[in-house]
C-alpha cells in the first residue's frame, strides 16, 4: 500500500462489494493477512475498523478465536490506519507489539486501531504508538494491543 491507500479506499468502497474488493486488494499486497479473511469496515485518518468472521480456520483447539488471529487483526488494522494517517513521503514498519488477552474470544471480532500520540510531522523519525481494541459481538473488549510503528521519511534514490 502507499500514501494513496485512503483515496483508494474512498473510491472503491462506493462500488457494490467495494469493502470486499478493498479487503482483497490489501491481502494481495500483504498475503499473510488473507488467513483471517478480514473485512475493512471503516478507514479514515486516525481510525481503521476491521472485522473477521467466526470461522473454523481462525479457531484454536478450544473452539475460540486463536491468539495469533487476534494479533493479525491488530497488526493489520494498525498498519492500514498508519498508512492512511501519516504524511505523504513517510513510511512505516511495526517495531514491536504488546498484547493483552482479556477474555475468551468467541464469535466474530471487530478490531479498531487509533493513534495514541499526535500524528508525526513530515520528515520526523521515531516511534509512533497505535492502540487496538478487539471486541466481540456484544461489544465487550476481549483483546487489546499496542503496536509501536517506526515512522521515517522515504529514502530517495
Q: Is 3 exposed, middle or buried (0-12, 13-18, 19+ CB in 10 A)?
A: middle
Residues 109-121: what's their mean pLDDT? 96
Average pLDDT of the chain, as a whole number? 94
Give 117's contacts (C-beta < 8 A, 6+ positions apart). 128, 129
Q: What is the maximum alpha-carbon separation in the chain?
A: 51
Q: Over 80: is that where the pLDDT of 2 sits? A: no
Residues 24-34: what's their mean pLDDT? 95
Cell of 65: 478465536
**DSSP assignment, residue 34?**
G
Query: How far, in Å, CA of 35 to CA of 98, rounded?
Result: 21
Q: Over 70: is that where the pLDDT of 73 sits? A: yes
Q: Over 80: is that where the pLDDT of 75 sits? A: yes
pTM: 0.94
The answer to whether the beta carbons of residues 128 and 148 sit under 8 Å apart is: yes
Task: State the pLDDT at residue 81.
Answer: 98
Q: Over 70: is that where the pLDDT of 154 sits? A: yes
Q: Over 60: is that where the pLDDT of 3 sits? A: no
Amino acid at each position: 500500500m502507499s500514501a494513496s491507500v485512503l483515496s483508494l479506499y474512498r473510491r472503491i468502497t462506493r462500488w457494490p462489494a467495494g469493502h470486499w474488493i478493498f479487503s482483497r486488494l490489501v491481502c494481495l499486497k500483504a498475503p499473510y493477512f488473507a488467513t483471517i479473511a478480514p473485512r475493512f469496515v471503516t478507514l479514515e485518518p486516525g481510525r481503521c475498523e476491521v472485522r473477521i468472521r467466526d470461522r473454523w480456520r481462525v479457531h484454536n483447539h478450544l473452539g475460540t478465536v486463536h491468539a495469533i488471529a487476534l494479533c493479525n487483526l491488530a497488526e493489520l488494522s494498525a498498519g492500514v490506519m498508519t498508512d492512511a494517517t501519516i504524511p505523504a513521503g513517510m513510511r512505516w514498519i511495526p517495531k514491536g507489539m504488546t498484547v493483552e488477552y482479556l477474555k475468551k474470544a468467541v464469535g466474530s471480532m471487530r478490531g479498531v486501531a487509533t493513534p495514541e500520540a499526535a500524528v508525526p510531522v513530515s520528515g520526523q523519525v521515531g516511534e509512533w504508538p497505535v492502540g487496538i481494541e478487539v471486541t466481540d459481538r456484544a461489544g465487550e473488549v476481549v483483546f487489546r494491543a499496542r503496536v509501536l510503528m517506526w515512522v521515517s521519511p522515504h529514502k530517495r534514490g
